[in-house]
Amino acid sequence: MSDRLEWAHTTSYGELLYPGVDIDGAIVEPGEIAVAVWTGSNGIALHGPKQQLRDRLLQLAAAVHEAPPVPWAEACIAESVDVANWKPGQTLDRALAPLPPAPALCGCGVRPVAPDPRLATCPECIDVFNSSSPRVSLGLCHPVPALS
């Protein structure tokens, strides 16, 4: 996996690319189709045989649909959380507002804290949490397996 992404907003222009299209030396091969999303002069493209591309896009759409609530504000994990014994409570059906500022697990001082560690947006807090042998690991990335 690379550590670089080209970011394209959902409002970005998109188009289907058919065999023979050549963009920057990348040619859509016969038997394949590509979905391109443009970010000005650059873009991203997902390509493959039509049915596989369709299946992948549906799989990604389902992953977005089934994803846990998306935090809408930056929040740390409270330093007071008992990491070794914490386990998820009820299923999160919506994002909750951060709690008032408190000492953060990451050591960055007093910061707004997430009402549930699963809603934290601070990578440092999540690293500290996960390095403390929790029952449940947290992550800011949730993989969507490749189609087989």
pLDDT for 2: 63
Per DSSP, what are the bridge partners of residue 41?
none
Q: State yes or no: pLDDT of 138 exceeds 80.
A: yes
What pTM value is reported for the model? 0.79
pLDDT for 61: 94
CA distance 22 to 130: 45
The tens digit of pLDDT for each residue in 74-83 reads 999 999 999 9
E strand or H helix that includes residue 38: strand 33-39
Residue 1 pLDDT grade (very low, low, confident, very high; cuts 50, 70, 90): low
pLDDT for 134: 82
Residue with tokens 């493209």: 45
pLDDT for 115: 93
Q: 79-82 contacts: CB < 8 A, separation 24 or more?
A: 79/103, 79/104, 79/105, 81/105, 81/117, 81/129
Phi-psi sector, 107: left (phi>0), alpha (psi -120 to 50), beta: left
Mean pLDDT, rounded, of the chain: 90
